[in-house]
Structure 1
């Protein structure tokens, strides 16, 4: 009986290992993990994209400093006292990471629902316009012709902006939180799970502009789980950096838009088909 259980456990472990290996290979081949970095470079070399960030910088910093300061004052010692039993001396660092992650989640929930939604929308659409993907943006908002930079050319949004931060995502976050009690490996697993959830949402606006149905979105994300998890993980790590997190929120948005533009131009490993073949495959998912 015991040997049967051990054998079954080994089979399950091998299956999980093989699945993880496939996801990592897909992520590596896609190069999706580079897009958050590309977003940083593109953002800082295109000053026109700075305007949405400038308009929201002071309110965001006030929110962020208030949340992070409160979390360290009221939760650092209690969480350190718990983590020190499982992480030992490393608890000093893992507690900091945990609090930064918790703070980032709270700030993200509040800011993306009430403070940054329109600014992030403008940044995503503005990046697509700057990349000459105007026809795609026109499906969801008015785009002015003539002179002006990418942000100035954006008109009234015709479709509902980004989805609000899901309550289910917040619940899922707290479900995964106990993983941090497992030394090192648990914290890494927690960040990867957060990255997967983050990755699933980075192209919400792109799918909206493409007018993709729920099943089509789900099929696309399922087929490209590795690339989106890789993008989301890098984006999550960048947004955990204190103070600079707001800048990376916008650069990650730029990176997601650059990725969407490349997908449209079929310049990624994820788009091997011709346009008609890609459309036919997507329709079958509905």
Structure 2
């Protein structure tokens, strides 16, 4: 009898926890939609494609990163698709093939991003972010953490000088642990997958402004406050960015356009705050 009572209490507690998480995710998603921040990854695509000088950091790393992404994605589908499909088919029925493919793409994307950022593209992403800020008239902001050359005839990347310090966060094992703990959500049809995407967006969103936080000389407390006040907006950006980066092979391209979009958002924050800026390159 006692065991039965404990079991019911545990079941109730788990149910309450899930309901609370669903409610929290729903509120965050609504705030993200209202903020409009989810549009910046798409603004980043347009701005990146129409400003050829911003292509230089990507082109310098294109071959190895594309090869890495293609190799990881192919290996994951070869090794992980069928085993996961076997489990998913019991919980999701006919749609298991689609949701499993989504899951494998997500796993491949995370692995590709982790390895590429650690070994190949970190400095290139910094250049893309800073170059976009300069193009949007925020040279003074960039000069806080690196030298910026004069001239350049519209080539903002050519104006970038030596970095003072490494800005982007290094890949942490805790990110893998958190990701693995959230993976089982995909076993819940539709709702679980949606929750997984939003949670990934909430995790990834604030990281797009790690360079901006450094340029603003924010300490840990200031960063946390800034993020907390804009949690919905960062989640909205993160969800849109994650979905773009999950596209096989092309995900690396979207990593750069997302960085461009994050810089556009930072420039707009500076403008809204009344910070001074130069003439903006359109």
TM-score, normalising length: structure 2: 0.88
Instruction: Name the CA distance, whole Å, in 1 between partners of 2:207 and 2:131.
Output: 18
Matched residue, 1:92: 97
Number of the residue aligned with 2:138? 133
What is the rounded CA distance, in whole Å, between the counterparts of 2:112 and 2:17 in structure 1?
Answer: 38
1:245-274 deviation per Cα after TM superposition (whole angstroms, max 9, x unaligned): 0110000000000000000001xxxx6xx6
- Confirm whether residue 218 of structure 1 aligns to residue 227 of structure 2: no
TM-superposed deviation, 1:62: 1.2
The higher relative CO (CA closer than 8 Å, separation ≥ 6) is in 2
Aligned residues: 266
What is the 5 A alignment of 1:164-183? 164-183=170-189
Deviations 1:128-166 (A, max 9, x none): 011110000000111001234100000000122311122
Deviation, 1:188, is 1.1
In structure 1, how many angstroms separate the alpha carbons of the residues matched to 2:173 and 2:262? 23
**Which runs of no fewer than 5 residues in structure 1 stay unpaired?**
276-286
Match of 1:200 among 194, 202, 206: 206
The CA distance in 2 between the partners of 1:209 and 1:177, in whole Å, is 34
Q: Please give the alpha-carbon distance, in whole angstroms, between the structure 1 residues aligned to 2:202 and 2:252.
A: 20
What residue ranges of structure 2 are gaps of 5+ in the alignment?
Answer: 276-282
SS of the residue 1:124 aligns to: helix
- CA distance in 2: counterparts of 1:135 and 1:165, whole angstroms: 29
Partner of 2:61: 56
Kept in 1: contact 2:185–2:195 (CA 8 A):
yes
Give the drift of 1:18: 6.5
What SS class does the counterpart of residue 156 from structure 1 fall into? strand
Distance in 2, Cα, partners of 1:166 & 1:65: 23
Are residue 23 (structure 1) and residue 8 (structure 2) matched? no
**Alignment partner of 2:116: what SS?**
helix
Instruction: Choose the corresponding residue for 2:238, options 232, 241, 246.
Output: 232
The reply on whether 1:257 has 2:263 as its aligned counterpart is yes
Tell me, what secondary structure is at the counterpart of 1:116? helix
In the TM superposition, 1:146-161 aligns within 5 A as 146-148=151-153, 149-161=155-167
**CA distances 1:191-237 after superposition (whole Å, capped 9, x unpaired):** 11111111021100000000000000001111111000000000000
Counterparts in 2 of 1:131 and 1:91: CA distance versus 1, 3 Å: same
Alpha-carbon separation, structure 2, partners of 1:207 and 1:177: 29
Residues in 1 aligned to 2:16 and 2:91: alpha-carbon distance in whole angstroms: 29
Matched, 1:66 2:74: no
Structure 2: distance between partners of 1:172 and 1:22: 21
C-alpha root-mean-square deviation of aligned residues, in Å? 2.3
Where 2:165 maps in the other structure, the secondary structure is coil
1:119 maps to which of 99, 120, 124: 124
Partner of 2:149: 144
Q: Render the CA deviation track for 1:87-146: whole Å, top value 9, x for unaligned.
A: 101011011000000000100110011111011010000000111100000001110012
